[in-house]
């Protein structure tokens, strides 16, 4: 790494004006480097599913599990001290009271860990929900984006004027092609028209009225739904898709972590033991 302090020192034979220009250039370079580092940090911090975010969450999961395992281990060690030769050291009331205190102390500590896991799970759920829709135009090239305004009105008008069979055929043809601008605009206009029709059909159903759709139109609308689903997959930006998949995996990890923490809690507060005893009782009664 270059030592900036060394760079700023005047060089032998260097004129003051040359030194001043070089210092300004160094300051500009360092400022740009600093701003880029800050922007990278902000981007990684706010981008759901980023590698940095994933690593941070995985680290937090590991930390919580270690905390919970430690709480469980200390509880079990203290619980064992209430027995000698597998028999309670104290009478029933005293034993119950002491065990209850141990459980209360351990559970109260564990509740904080569980709350942290729940909050993180809720946060990631919101992030995943926010990623459920990503603007497909983000993946377009500059020339492709330039085509959007002029093509949008024409395609919207076409989609609205077609009958259901024509629209199904158009969407299927566009989906099988490679024109990403046409795919994105047909997806938007087709989704809008289908949504309007489904709203109309829903209103008729609430009124108890028939839709009067022919069997051919019903089949065409089914084809349209399928084509729109395929278009949605085709137009998804690869980076957005990767980001979404990564965030979903993180969400699954946080949910498993929260479930594991609650399993440990049920071991400590006695619910696991009660459930096992109830299961054994039912098994005996079934014979």
CA-based radius of gyration for the chain: 32
Distance between CA atoms of residues 75 and 105, nearest Å: 9
pLDDT-derived band at 128 (thresholds 50, 70, 90) equals confident
Residue 83 in 3-state DSSP?
strand
On whether both 56 and 33 belong to a single domain, the answer is no
Residue of 254, 269, 267 lying closest to 116 (CA atoms): 254
On whether both 165 and 82 belong to a single domain, the answer is no
pLDDT tens digit sequence for 215-236: 999 999 999 999 999 998 888 7
pLDDT tens digit sequence for 65-104: 999 999 999 999 999 999 998 899 999 899 989 999 999 9
Distance between CA atoms of residues 184 and 134, nearest Å: 12
Residue 88 in 3-state DSSP?
strand
Chain center to CA of 285:
46
pLDDT-derived band at 56 (thresholds 50, 70, 90) equals confident
H helices of the chain, where?
4-8, 16-46, 51-80, 92-130, 142-161, 164-176, 180-206, 215-235, 238-269, 271-286
pLDDT-derived band at 46 (thresholds 50, 70, 90) equals very low
The tokens 């459930």 sit on which residue?
A: 275
On whether both 154 and 219 belong to a single domain, the answer is yes
Looking up residue 102, the CATH number of its domain turns out to be 1.10.132
Mean of the per-residue pLDDT values for the chain? 84
On whether both 122 and 144 belong to a single domain, the answer is no
Q: Which domain holds residue 69?
A: 51-132+245-286
CA angle 151, 157, 162 (to 5 degrees): 125
Domain count of the chain? 3
- Give the pLDDT mean for 43-61: 62
Structure-block tokens of residue 36: 């880029």
The tokens 């250039």 sit on which residue?
A: 25
On whether both 60 and 40 belong to a single domain, the answer is no
On whether both 225 and 261 belong to a single domain, the answer is no
Q: What is the pLDDT of residue 54?
A: 65
Distance between CA atoms of residues 54 and 48, nearest Å: 8
On whether both 41 and 56 belong to a single domain, the answer is no
Q: Please count the other Cβ atoms lying within 10 Å of the Cβ belonging to residue 33.
A: 10
pLDDT tens digit sequence for 140-196: 888 998 999 989 999 999 999 999 999 999 999 999 999 999 999 999 999 999 999
Contact yes or no for 110/66 (Cβ under 8 A): no
Residue of 219, 158, 213 lying closest to 190 (CA atoms): 158
């Amino acid at each position: 790494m270059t030592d900036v302090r060394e760079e700023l020192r005047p060089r032998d034979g260097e004129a003051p004006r040359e030194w001043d220009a070089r210092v300004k250039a160094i300051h500009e370079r360092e400022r740009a480097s600093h701003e880029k580092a800050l922007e990278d940090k902000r981007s990684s911090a706010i981008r759901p599913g980023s590698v940095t975010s994933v690593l941070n969450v995985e680290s937090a999961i590991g930390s919580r599990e270690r905390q919970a395992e430690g709480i469980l281990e200390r509880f079990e060690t203290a619980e064992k001290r209430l027995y000698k030769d597998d028999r309670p050291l104290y009478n029933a009331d005293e034993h119950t009271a002491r065990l209850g205190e141990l459980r209360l102390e351990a559970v109260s500590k564990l509740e904080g860990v569980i709350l942290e896991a729940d909050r993180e799970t809720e946060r990631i759920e919101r992030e995943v929900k926010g990623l459920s829709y990503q603007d497909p135009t983000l993946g377009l090239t500059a020339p492709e984006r330039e085509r959007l305004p002029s093509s949008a009105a024409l395609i919207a008008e076409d989609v609205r004027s077609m009958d259901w069979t024509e629209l199904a055929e158009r969407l299927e043809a566009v989906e099988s092609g490679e024109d990403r601008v046409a795919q994105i605009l047909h997806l938007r206009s087709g989704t809008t028209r289908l949504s309007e029709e489904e709203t109309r059909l829903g209103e008729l159903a609430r009124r108890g009225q028939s839709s009067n759709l022919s069997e051919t139109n019903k089949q065409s609308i089914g084809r349209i739904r399928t084509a729109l689903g395929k278009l949605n997959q085709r137009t998804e930006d690869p980076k957005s898709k990767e980001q979404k998949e990564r965030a979903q995996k993180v969400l699954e990890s946080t949910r498993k972590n929260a479930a594991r923490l609650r399993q440990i809690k049920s071991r400590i507060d006695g619910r696991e033991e009660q459930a096992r005893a109830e299961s054994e009782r039912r098994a005996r009664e079934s014979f």
